[in-house]
Amino acid sequence: MKTGRKKPSGSLVNITLGLICLIWLIPTIGLLISSFRTRDDVLSTGWWMIFPHREWFTIQTTIPSKDIDRNQPMTFSGVTATFEEFRQGIKTPDGHRVIWIGNKRAGTVQIQEQKWTTTFHLTLQNYKDVLTGKVYQWVDIEGNKHNEQGDDLAGALFNSLAVTLPSVVFPVTIATFAAYGFAWMRFPGRKQVFTGIVALLVVPLQIALIPVLRDYVKLELNGTFLALWLAHTGFGVPLAIYLLYNYISTLPKDILESAFVDGASHFTIFTKLVVPLSIPAIAAYAIFQFLWVWNDYLVALIFIGNTPKVQILTMRLAEIVGSRGSDWHLLTAGAFISMILPLTVFFALQRYFVRGLLAGSVKG
């Protein structure tokens, strides 16, 4: 007779994973919906109010007589209660609500009923206001018109692209060549050099920023895209070499030896065999590097500073948070703009992601 503990059912695992995904998705859904809502809706109601819900609507308004003693129980629409109880709202048997709106002296008594409704007032104006640097106009709840300057996130978005793409291509290119050399070429000091590169992985990024900045100041590179390209390439190459080496070193040896026998050079083997076979590892690292550089704020802040023309998206968003702390409709629109491209890159390369993460974990 076999005994043992029962394994959790597959359905239970799937339900648990589904709940975890839902919990992670809810803030993103709220961010997306808020980015399309109007200023007044964002400030007055929650984002979930775009879905059908029941809300109280006034069907009758009564102005209490000045002769009524507000400190004693009062009767309105057949309901007798104190001022405090009316302020809280009292439900009647027919499903209505009697509520006192305003202060004790000049308030009104309203009879309300619940109806299904939705605040489905969506607009693209928020994205237009944050993407352009033009002056736009908005009207507050009192009808006053205000003119404000747009945030020109479009310029910051292109700056982020100009920084991110080379900062991904450079380390991937250098690391792929280096990983092939360490894996399939024999030269003096190979193990020692590779050990030194791996050791750089434990060096904290923060301790290198100020020394590098001093060198940039001497070379007049601070405040330029080149400064960020060199920094991200230098900080990203060690991990890229380590990850790609683990993958390239596990490629079938027979294929490469056959190519050598046929007279192929190292460069031919690298470009025709190694690179195509290493796409999963290259794509996995490219995803990581793209996300790190795209979401970077510290390195850009140190090496770009207050140079407006080359500010990237994260720096501009930080400025918006400081200057428009209460304008949630603009903040959410700006935040979602910063998410669109990384999500696109991830979903485009996700089929390589897991394979690349497992690079070199299984041999034979």
Q: Using the 8-state DSSP alphabet, how is residue 306 labeled?
A: T
250 found inside a domain: yes
pLDDT at 1 over 50: no
Is the same domain home to 85 and 186? no
For helices 328-357 and 153-184, the axis angle rounded to 10 degrees is: 10
Rounded Cα gap, residues 306 and 298, in angstroms: 13
Radius of gyration of the chain (CA): 31
Percent of the chain beyond pLDDT 90? 16
164 found inside a domain: yes
Helix, strand and coil content of the chain, in percent to the nearest 5, comes to: 60, 10, 25
69 found inside a domain: yes
356, 345, 361: which is closest to 165 by C-alpha?
345
Is the same domain home to 289 and 339? yes
Name, in order, each residue with C-beta under 8 angstroms of 168's C-beta and a sequence gap of 6 or more. Answer: 286, 289, 290, 293
125, 136, 131, 135: which is closest to 158 by C-alpha?
131
Give the mean pLDDT of 88-113: 87
Band (pLDDT 50/70/90 cuts) for residue 142 is low
pLDDT at 175 over 90: yes
Is the same domain home to 85 and 229? no
Is the same domain home to 242 and 340? yes
Between 350 and 237, residue with greater pLDDT: 237
Band (pLDDT 50/70/90 cuts) for residue 7 is low
**pLDDT score for 95:** 84
Band (pLDDT 50/70/90 cuts) for residue 145 is low
Is the same domain home to 276 and 202? yes
324 found inside a domain: yes
Is the same domain home to 334 and 201? yes
**pLDDT score for 214:** 92
Question: How much is the pTM?
Answer: 0.74
pLDDT at 221 over 80: yes
Is the same domain home to 169 and 113? no
Rounded Cα gap, residues 57 and 212, in angstroms: 63
Between 5 and 253, residue with greater pLDDT: 253
Between 291 and 121, residue with greater pLDDT: 291
Give the mean pLDDT of 134-151: 63
Q: Which long-range contacts (CB under 8 A, 24 or more apart) does 313-319 make?
A: 313/153, 313/156, 313/157, 313/159, 313/160, 313/337, 313/338, 314/160, 314/338, 315/156, 316/151, 316/152, 316/153, 316/156, 317/153, 317/156, 319/151
362 found inside a domain: no
Least confident of 143-147, 212-216, 302-306: 143-147
95 found inside a domain: yes
Is the same domain home to 103 and 161? no
Between 122 and 349, residue with greater pLDDT: 122
The domain that holds 215 is classified in CATH as: 1.10.3720.10
**pLDDT score for 169:** 94
Give the number of other Cβ atoms within 10 Å of residue 13's Cβ: 11
Rounded Cα gap, residues 9 and 126, in angstroms: 46
Last residue of a domain, one of 72, 94, 117: 117
Is the same domain home to 241 and 323? yes
Is the same domain home to 107 and 169? no
292 found inside a domain: yes
Query: pLDDT tens, 40-70?
Result: 788 788 888 888 888 888 888 888 888 888 8
Is the same domain home to 205 and 342? yes
Rounded Cα gap, residues 271 and 62, in angstroms: 83
Say how many Å lie between the first and final Cα of the chain, rounded: 38
Tally of domains in the chain: 2
37 found inside a domain: no
- Structural domain span for residue 241: 153-357
Percent of the chain beyond pLDDT 70? 88
The mean pLDDT value of the chain amounts to 83
Q: Where are the alpha helices (DSSP H) in 8-100?
A: 10-35, 39-44, 83-88
Is the same domain home to 157 and 293? yes
Last residue of a domain, one of 66, 89, 117: 117
Q: Using the 8-state DSSP alphabet, how is residue 65 labeled?
A: -
**pLDDT score for 364:** 43
Contact in structure between 58 and 110 (CB atoms under 8 Å): yes
Last residue of a domain, one of 92, 117, 142: 117
For 180-212, give one letter per residue: b (16+ CB within 10 A) or e: bbbbbeeeeeeeeebeebeeeeeeeeeeebeeb
